[in-house]
Amino acid sequence: MRRDGYWVEVISTGDEILFGRIVDTNSAWIARRAAELGVWLRRVTSVGDDLGEISGVLREALGRGPDLVLFTGGLGPSEDDLTVEAIGLALGRDVVFDQGAVERIRRRYEERGIHDTVRGERMARVVDGSRALQNPVGMATGMELVEGGSTIMTFPGVPSEMKAMFDAYAAPMIEGRTSSRFAANTVVARVVFRDFFPVYRRMQADYPDVYIKNAATPPESPEERVSVRDITVDVVA
């Protein structure tokens, strides 16, 4: 299937992903959501909490010229939350505090009876020249900026916050820049795989602009012939 048009990449940060302690469900969700909006997620890159590696991954991504680069993770108050600093390093920009975000964080902390807000204010960091993106669910502030024709957006790694911010900021921007939409259908056929394969190949040849994928499921009982499978065909156009 052709994959031209609006181009999205995701950079997912966090040592916990590389250590296998958590599964990167954020990127999978973004991929599904992007498909609903009519665009392809072209690439997902996972990178640990390392300033140089994160900035290097961003520079590589920008070198490919995507329309949108989405960061997930690294916006919290800890010392290893380095996404903002890494973007500043990659682009040669200073890191500053968004005063509106600082005030919101202070209010939230004071509502909880916490008066020492210095660490929490780290969640108000943005790159100079960017637009701060208010978090409708949590406190970590995102940001949006443009570099060389590519838009960069940062979202928290907490799934509920990431989803809320994607729908609040990324989705409207994507919808405003592309008129395409995908429709998906799944067909399940109980056939011998060797009989189905020529049909599958012909479908791919006849419809090059349609994503067609098959998956074979083993028989439900040992009495069934080994060659018999439930063939699931996903069609996205």
pLDDT digits (tens, 9 = 90+) for 124-134: 999 999 999 99
CA distance 11 to 70: 6
Q: pLDDT band for position 195 (50/70/90)?
A: confident
The mean per-residue pLDDT over the stretch 139-155 comes to 97
Count of other CB atoms within 10 angstroms of residue 85? 16
CA distances from 94 to 33, 127, 130, 142, 229 (A): 32, 6, 11, 16, 58
Q: Is the pLDDT of residue 234 over 90?
A: no
**Judging by beta carbons within 10 Å of its beta carbon (0-12, 13-18, 19+), is residue 149 exposed, middle or buried?**
exposed
Averaged over 86-93, what is the pLDDT?
98
Given a cut of 70, is residue 58 above it in pLDDT? yes
Say which residues have a Cβ less than 8 Å from residue 184's Cβ, sequence separation at least 6. Answer: 35, 234, 235, 236
**What is the pTM assigned to this prediction?**
0.81
209 has pLDDT over 80:
no
Query: Does residue 162 surpass a pLDDT of 70?
Result: yes
Residue range 102-121: average pLDDT? 92
Question: Percent of the chain beyond pLDDT 70?
Answer: 85
Least reliable range by pLDDT among 6-10, 175-179, 227-231: 227-231
Do the beta carbons of residue 217 and residue 230 sit within 8 Å? yes
**Residues contacting residue 223 through CB under 8 Å, at least 6 positions apart:** none
Per-residue pLDDT, 27: 97
CB 138 within 8 A of CB 146: no
Position 200 pLDDT exceeds 80 = no
Structural domain boundaries of the chain? 7-177, 184-236
Instruction: Report, as an integer, the average pLDDT of 104-117.
Output: 91
Phi-psi bin for 74: left (phi > 0), alpha (psi -120 to 50), beta? left
| Domain spanning 7-177, CATH architecture | 3-Layer(aba) Sandwich (3.40)
Beta bridge partners of 125: 97
Q: How far apart are CA 72 and CA 127, in angstroms?
A: 16
Report pLDDT for 38: 84
3-state secondary structure of 45: strand
Q: How many CA atoms lie within 13 A of 131 on its CB side?
A: 9
Split at pLDDT 50, 70, 90, the class of 226 is very low
Least confident piece of the model among 35-39, 73-77, 82-86, 187-191: 187-191
Interatomic CA distance for residues 44 and 11, integer angstroms = 6
Q: Over range 12-32, report the average pLDDT.
A: 95
